[in-house]
Amino acid sequence: MNKETMLEKKIWAVIGATQNTEKFGYKIYKRLKEKGYEVYPVNPVCEAIDGDICYKNLSSLPKVPEVINMVVAPEKGKTYIEEAAALGIKYVWFQPGTHDNEILRLAKDKDMEMLLGCVLVATNQ
């Protein structure tokens, strides 16, 4: 899977989006929006980000995203991988620090295409 293929997908969910402007969950959400993506923030403890509704899980989104961007620790991320697979989401982008062997194996077992790296770097062109 190359990053260009994943970046061509237009509907994204940022797992671990946050109101804290210093954190990657905020920066990634903001960057994707600025780049014209339809992006949904997902965080069960957050009500809204910059006035946008923040969703508790993938199942509550108004649209099924094509790509999920993981900005949570691997132990929190496994539930989202399971949910994404159940919804038919095929693409997952793991930010640095969000993956371990177990979650990568889970995504692979679910036939998901994955990328490891920083979406901020990839969208900085």
Which residues pair with residue 12 across a beta bridge?
39, 67
For residue 92, give its domain range.
Answer: 3-122
Provide the residue-wise pLDDT of the chain in tens; the chain has 125 residues.
789 999 999 999 999 999 999 999 999 999 999 999 999 999 999 999 999 999 999 999 999 999 999 999 999 999 999 999 999 999 999 999 999 999 999 999 999 999 999 999 999 86
Q: The tokens of 11 are what?
A: 């509907």
Identify the CATH number of the domain in which residue 70 sits.
3.40.50.720
HSE toward the beta carbon, residue 34, CA cutoff 13 A: 11
CB atoms within 10 A of CB 11: 15
Q: What pLDDT score was predicted for residue 37?
A: 97
Count of structural domains within the chain? 1
CA angle (102 as vertex; 100, 103 as ends), nearest 5:
70
